[in-house]
Amino acid sequence: MINVTKTFLPPQQEYQALLQQAWDTGWMTNRGVLVKELEDRLKAYLGVPQLISMTNGTLPIQIAIKALGLTGEIITTPFSYVATTSSIVWEGCTPVFVDIHPEYLTIDETQIEAAITLKTSAILATHVFGNPCNVEAIEAIAKKHNLKVIYDAAHCFGVTYKGQSLFNYGDVSTCSFHATKLFHTGEGGALFCKPEYYERMYWHHNFGHDGPEAFYGLGINAKMSEPQAAMGLAVLPYMSDILESRKRVVETYNAVLTDLEIQLLAIRDHTLWNFSYYPVVFKTEAQLLAVKTALNQADIFPRRYFYPSLNTLPYVDGSACEVADDIASRVLCLPLFVGFETQDINRVLTVIKTIIC
């Protein structure tokens, strides 16, 4: 069976050796030595001034909304994982959906200003499949209208734009370290922010503590555990191998699919991409369903990602977004993971060609 992804697991003995440090101290959580070491190594690897590791990739979005004091309406994209929209609603704000660019699949920056009202407090955009939004245009709009900017950068580990980490853009960026991501801690995530917000974000993720017996204010528990950090420390040394392996899969796909009538993801100029996903957009939903059925019959399981468009969720009042609604109905992510053998990649390609050629 070939799934859409497969978790990269480092040698078990290397993970256990790191975990032994936590065992020896008896310190399993509350920001032990492994969490602090992971944060230091990630800052150096990513080229970011600071980060706060967290126990998953959704809590950073929720904490950002809370810590920035956002209210009213938040402009966002309908083409993202559900956590982007659900976090807005969970924190008592209203998502206002702006359609997406038909090639980059990120929020269409040319439509943002028309969606701004007196109730708008922020823009929460997603760097889709690791592909950057038009960060310069969004920053200009935010400054003009005094809005905060949060980027859901769940797919963006290691991505750089114009020579710097994509996490350095916006007031806050968030990342997922879920087991399906190219860098992972089993379950986990991180928050990146401007220096002036760091302290506030930090205490919000740790119950609001100011030391063991005092409190700055309201907070929740979003701390990463030592076993999670141990996994991250075990995975990080293999990032070059992980990226090279994924690049090989992408190049093998490209060699065949660029000659077919399939839309592939257009990566924004000046981007060093991380080969995080391989989405293909078929001509029609019927064609997608035919390909997906044929692949499933061959014991191959791609994913309709992102589907459905988030403006159709039952708990939002979302108007139609023509491009996002259309793309969501036709996009399919093909299998992509470390160790995906060439003969198995060719199995995927053979099925696709059989249906659409």
The pTM of the full predicted model, rounded to 2 decimals, is 0.97
Question: What percent of the chain has a predicted confidence (pLDDT) above 70?
Answer: 100
The pLDDT value given to residue 161: 98
Structure tokens at 78: 């309908």
For 174, 250, 300, 301, 338, the CA distances from 5, given in Å and listed in that order, are 21, 13, 11, 9, 9
Nearest CA to 71 among 96, 97, 93?
A: 93
Question: For position 226, what pLDDT does the model report?
Answer: 97
- Specify the amino acid at residue 69: G
Among candidate residues 285, 259, 261, 275, the one with its CA nearest the CA of residue 334: 275
DSSP-derived secondary structure letter, 209: B
pLDDT (tens, 9 = 90+) of the chain, 357 residues, equals 999 999 999 999 999 999 999 999 999 998 999 999 999 999 999 999 999 999 999 999 999 999 999 999 999 999 999 999 999 999 999 999 999 999 999 999 999 999 999 999 999 999 999 999 999 999 999 999 999 999 999 999 999 999 999 999 999 999 999 999 999 999 999 999 999 999 999 999 999 888 788 888 899 999 999 999 999 999 999 999 999 999 999 999 999 999 999 999 999 999 999 999 999 999 999 999 999 999 999 999 999 999 999 999 999 998 899 999 999 999 999 999 999 999 999 999 999 999 997
Q: What is the rounded distance in angstroms from the CA atom of residue 272 to the CA atom of residue 117?
A: 35
pLDDT of residue 138: 98
Query: So what's the pLDDT on residue 215?
Result: 86
Domains and CATH numbers, the chain: 2-98+105-237 (3.40.640.10), 239-356 (3.90.1150.10)
Alpha helices for the chain (secondary structure H): 12-25, 33-46, 59-67, 82-90, 112-115, 135-145, 195-204, 226-235, 239-257, 285-297, 322-330, 342-356
Place of tokens 């994913």: 303
∠69-177-89 over CA atoms, to 5°?
A: 35
